[in-house]
Amino acid sequence: MTTTTDADRVLKARHRALWASGDYPAVATEVIPALGPALVEAARVRPGQRVLDVAAGAGNAAIPAALTGAEVVAADLAPELFEAGRRSAERAGVTLTWTEADAEALPFADGEFDTVLSCVGVMFAPHHQATADELVRVTRSGGTIALANWTPEGFIGRMFATLRPYAAPPPAGAQPPPLWGDPEHVRGLLGDRVTDVTAQRRILPVSRFTSGEEFRDFFKATYGPTIAVYDRLAGAGDDTAVAQLDEALAELGDEYFSPGTRTMEWEYLLFTARRR
């Protein structure tokens, strides 16, 4: 397990507060509900398996995994998200374990899980190699690692690029989240500890919004990283930057609607591998 320093604890506290802000469960259930089931299907989760969902949020992948009959642990740095997850699990008629955990220092034994998942979750841990090392460590020999991550070139990657000029500088040593959507980057992180690698770029249809402005306003109210940037600009009293960012996000959203439809297309990388 990774040793946690005082600086790491401060950084992780900020990350926890970021993801606890807004309403990420609304993003998971209203915008990307199909992403978790797609990941579970790709991982071939089966009844009786022991499954870990890392950076699980409110259970977008953990709950579909539990519906297969697997024994599921949902782990996240921000336990504030678990209440919504428990309600969703209860409605779905499944029981799973919810555990507060840092993706870079997971509180689980070596080789404890048959399958380790993350649905647009671990990509936001700041230190990519430490996170990848933990994913491998807790997966048993022959077990499956399955990840769904936004690509740098896709909509969410472009959104983060749009936010970047207005955001606070990243912490020292932190890497950009969308790199997890680059198959070569992920292969490099996991190295020769895995085999049977598959990496597919897929499109997630998103029909929650009817315009770029509606997307922007929803993410300003619900999505932690977007909220943090706007709070920073508001704290600086920079109304001009707020207006510029408003316009840029709305234009980006409009760009990603399929021609003649009200459906957006968001690209993600579906990556699966087997631990040697």
Is 231 within a domain? no
Q: Could you list the beta-strand ranges (E) of 78-229.
A: 97-100, 113-119, 139-150, 194-206
Whether 241 maps to a domain, the answer reads no
Residues 6+ apart with CB under 8 A from 70: 45, 46, 47, 48, 49, 50, 51, 115
- Which residues in the chain come in under a pLDDT of 70? 1-4
User: What's the pLDDT at 172?
Assistant: 87
Flag whether 83 is in a domain. Answer: yes
pLDDT for the residue 257: 95
Q: What pLDDT shows up at residue 4?
A: 56
Residue type, 186: V
Total structural domains in the chain?
Answer: 1
User: Does any domain span residue 165?
Assistant: yes
Q: How high is the pLDDT of residue 8? A: 84
pLDDT digit string, tens, across residues 225-238: 999 999 999 999 99
As a whole number of angstroms, the distance between CA 236 and CA 245 comes to: 14
Q: How long a stretch of residues is the chain?
A: 276
pLDDT of amino acid 6: 80
Domain membership flag for residue 121 = yes
Residue 69: CATH number of its domain: 3.40.50.150
pLDDT value of residue 2: 46
When computed from its CA atoms, the radius of gyration of the chain, rounded to whole angstroms, is 18
Domain range holding 123? 6-205+266-275
244 in a structural domain: no
- Does the residue 212 lie in any domain? no
User: Could you tell me which residues come within 8 angstroms of residue 41 by beta carbon, excluding any fewer than 6 positions away?
Assistant: none
Identify which of 173, 59, 171, 186 has the alpha carbon closest to the alpha carbon of residue 135.
Answer: 186
Does a structural domain hold residue 220?
Answer: no
Q: Decide: pTM greater than 0.85.
A: yes
Task: Identify the pLDDT of residue 1.
Answer: 46
